[in-house]
């Protein structure tokens, strides 16, 4: 049985609360042994039915990054048009990816056929393969933060185009495209979108329900 000291326990919580979505990177390379630890951390994520549906495509080539960054540029431009002013201008000021700048990109994919046709635990909740893959992303992200490495999840991409650039098999789904590197200027004290005034963190008390979801979740006034 593995046990943890108080300091080790506190380090886990510290890593969770200090994790940030990073968009600006220094050009310092990530040491190979550190990158291997991050990939191993991702691979040790929990998965429904121990299906381990993830693959990790490591991208270092500048030409490949440029191709993917062009996809992101088009997706960001299209997303911007969905907003009205002044939100559209605020959106334009946000830095939403660091594909070219980061020394390493990783595409995390999900293979829905792995372990098929019978994956324990997926008979009634089919998308647990995707959920499991997201846990691999979180593992990598937290391990990276503990190593002092920033991670940025680029969600403004067209998955089928990404799939084509990276030669991902047709049945495999790209789930997350991650930029990794040492953050320029360090890790911010609070999430960047909160710093920029885009959105604030919700109070956990408004999101926790007891026994059943009945109306709004308990507020501070209701629990005093």
| Domain encompassing residue 122 | 21-187
Question: What integer best gives the mean pLDDT of the chain?
Answer: 93
Residue 207 within a domain: no
Residue 192 within a domain: no
Residue 88 within a domain: yes
For 145-198, what is each residue's pLDDT tens digit? 999 999 999 999 999 999 999 999 999 999 999 999 999 999 999 998 999 899
Burial class (CB in 10 A: 0-12, 13-18, 19+), 144: buried
Residue 210 within a domain: no
CB 20 within 8 A of CB 187: yes
For 151-171, the DSSP string reads: EEEE--S-HHHHHHHTT--TT
Residue 203 within a domain: no
pLDDT of res. 75: 96
pLDDT of res. 116: 84
Residue 199 within a domain: no
Q: What is the dihedral of CA 80, 81, 87, 90, to 10 degrees?
A: 30
CB 16 within 8 A of CB 74: no
For 107-139, what is each residue's pLDDT tens digit? 999 999 998 888 998 889 889 999 999 999 999
39: CB partners within 8 A, 6+ apart: 56, 58, 140
Is the pLDDT score of 224 beyond 80? no
Counting the structural domains of the chain, the total is: 1
Q: Supply the CATH number for residue 92's domain.
A: 3.40.109.10
CA 189 – CA 173 distance, rounded (Å):
33
pLDDT of res. 216: 61
Confidence of residue 215 (pLDDT cuts 50, 70, 90): low
190: CB partners within 8 A, 6+ apart: none
Residue 214 within a domain: no
Residue 104 within a domain: yes
């Amino acid at each position: 049985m593995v046990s943890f000291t108080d300091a080790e326990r506190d380090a886990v919580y510290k890593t969770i609360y200090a994790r940030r979505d990073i968009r600006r990177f220094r050009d310092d390379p990530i040491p190979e042994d550190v990158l291997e630890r991050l990939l191993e951390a991702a691979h040790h994520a929990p998965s429904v039915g121990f299906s381990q549906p993830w693959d990790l495509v490591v991208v270092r080539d500048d030409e490949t990054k440029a191709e993917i960054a062009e996809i992101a540029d088009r997706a960001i431009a299209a997303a911007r048009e969905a907003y009205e002013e002044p939100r559209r201008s605020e959106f334009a000021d946000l830095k939403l990816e660091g594909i070219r700048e980061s020394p390493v990109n990783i595409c995390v994919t999900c293979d829905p056929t792995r372990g098929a046709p019978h994956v324990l635990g997926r008979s009634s909740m089919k998308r647990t393969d995707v959920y499991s893959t997201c846990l691999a992303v979180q593992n990598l992200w937290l391990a990276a933060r503990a190593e002092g490495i920033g991670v940025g999840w680029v969600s403004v991409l067209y998955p089928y185009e990404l799939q084509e650039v990276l030669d991902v098999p047709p049945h495999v789904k790209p789930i997350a495209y991650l930029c990794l590197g040492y953050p320029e200027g360090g890790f911010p004290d609070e999430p960047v979108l909160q710093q920029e005034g885009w959105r604030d963190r919700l109070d956990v008390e408004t999101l926790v329900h007891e026994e059943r979801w009945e109306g709004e979740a308990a507020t501070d006034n209701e629990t005093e």
